[in-house]
Structure 1
Amino acid sequence: MEAILYVGHGSRVKAGNEQMKDFVEKAKQAVDCDIQEICFLELAAPDITEGMKRCVERGATSILAVPVLLFSAGHMKVDIPEELVKAMEHYPDVPVRFGKPFGVHEEILNVLEKRLSAAGWKQGDDADFLMVGRGSSDIGALRDFSAMCTHLQNRTKAKRVEKAYLAAALPTFDEGLESISSSEAQAIYVLPYLLFTGMLMKELNEKIAAKSREINIPIILCDPLGFDKDLVRILCERVEDTKSRPIFTGEVIPYV
């Protein structure tokens, strides 16, 4: 019997883990599978080994490991594969297929537009955007984030869509905020490209408030992507994609 093991990142902030669980519960209802479990890479329980154990104890004879992550970076290419290998040592006769992250997807553009609209933006407004990613040293992840910035600019017809990162890549958020502050538009919207921000929103708000006092253009912080219901369709797609992937042997398969 096939099982699905959803793998989230995990957070020290309990609310973030609960949001991830609620999001996956919505996806479960749209997927035809009797055995579906949730686990986390780090910082929360159950971990991947425990998640696989729960699947097997419920009768799983094969497992689809489906990541609940935005991009393919170190967690996808190294950390999750390593943890899967450890877990598979306990169940050598249970084949595992390892899925893809959300990646570049039109549904995410829909969510970004919703976040902009909720913050007051309308199509045709004279506004520039600053997209804020978590950041990574992985070239592929940075490339995908840049692609999403380009797609958003094409869809919204914004004159400027700049990018910045919270860690591990340049420009930093401070640098991105300084750059976009030279805008001649009537408003600047800051879009956190994150499933869950935890305590980061407070820090972003403080920096934006300080910069707003220096310039005459309103800087508006949008809500993060969040575990939006519109992203459930992507997760369901990834479940179906994973069914056709090769059996995971511990070797990392590049995600292009």
Structure 2
Amino acid sequence: MGENILVIHGMRRGYQNEALQRFIYRLMKESGINFHITFLESDINHLYNMISSLVKQGVHEFNIVPLLLFSAKHYLQDIPTILQHLKNNYPYIEYQVTQPLGTHYHIVNIINERIKNALYVSPSISKIVFIAHGSERYKQPNEQLKQVINNCNVANKPINMVMLYGDYSYKKRLPEILAEGGEILVVPVFLYDGFLVHKMKSEIQYMRNNSCIEFTKSLNFHPLLELIIKDQITQLEARNHVPDTTQFS
């Protein structure tokens, strides 16, 4: 069994990493799994430093669990680059990487819950807008968010998607949606309500004109995230125990 490494983006300065650690420990305290929290942005608990330290303690197998929603730069470039650097320095280590959190079916359940609660409070909402981080370079986040939208079935209302970055830029697309009128529910598909989400909400409020806009909360370390993480680790471990039938052919 590999050592479980939870990877989150984080920040080099300020207290955000400490706050994120508290949220994750609180989320996973009843999970029954051992894990280490690492960051892509950190002077201390950086992914490379954490694994290097564990290797020196005799650990050679790792389950890498990116706490990222979609496949963009951090998932497709940053983490693989760090892992390859580790492999170059420690050729005997083995690692597996789980899929992004947003590809798991429980993410849809969390979002459906957010929408259902919002519609209960504001039944006059006429359309829904999903907003995620997006990417200037990679198209996968667009396709993965579309899949999430296709699987959301809690409301019989039109759903649009916009992104902070990339082809679906909210600064270009949202004014067109707002111009259609009606009460709009904006659903931030982010791990937590951090700086980017608060900045985005402020900018959308400025764009609203006469439109009525409501916001749901982000995922905010919903308890179902614990099940998602456990399920992803279980799938990795199961893959390790699949017998190699080629030796019998």
Q: TM-score, normalised by structure 2?
A: 0.81
The Cα of 1:140 is off from its aligned counterpart by 2.3
* Aligned positions, number: 237
SS at match of 2:102: coil
| Match 1:163 to one of 161, 164, 176 | 161
Runs of 4+ in 1 over 6 A off after TM superposition: none
**Aligned residue for 1:230?**
224
The Cα of 1:143 is off from its aligned counterpart by 0.4
**Aligned residue for 1:251?**
none
2:187 maps to amino acid: L
**Aligned residue for 1:220?**
214
2:169 maps to amino acid: T
Contact 1:99 1:245 in 2 (8 A): no
SS at match of 2:85: helix
Q: Deviations over 1:23-60 (max 9, x none)?
A: 43233641444xx2111123564112211133335542
Contact 1:129 1:188 in 2 (8 A): yes
Larger helix proportion, structure 1 or 2? Answer: 2
**Aligned residue for 1:208?**
204
Unaligned runs of at least 5 residues, structure 1: 247-256
Q: Deviations over 1:142-180 (max 9, x none)?
A: 10111112222x33211x21111111x122112232122
**Aligned residue for 1:180?**
177
**Aligned residue for 1:48?**
47
Q: Deviations over 1:71-112 (max 9, x none)?
A: 122222221111012123343323222222113233212222
**Shift in alpha-carbon separation, 1:179–1:19, aligned structure 2, 3 A:** farther
Mapped partners of 2:58, 2:29: distance in 1: 17
1:165 maps to amino acid: M
Say what the alpha-carbon RMSD is for the aligned residues.
Answer: 2.7
**Aligned residue for 1:91?**
90
**Aligned residue for 1:198?**
194
* Identity rate, percent: 23
The Cα of 1:135 is off from its aligned counterpart by 0.8
SS at match of 1:81: helix
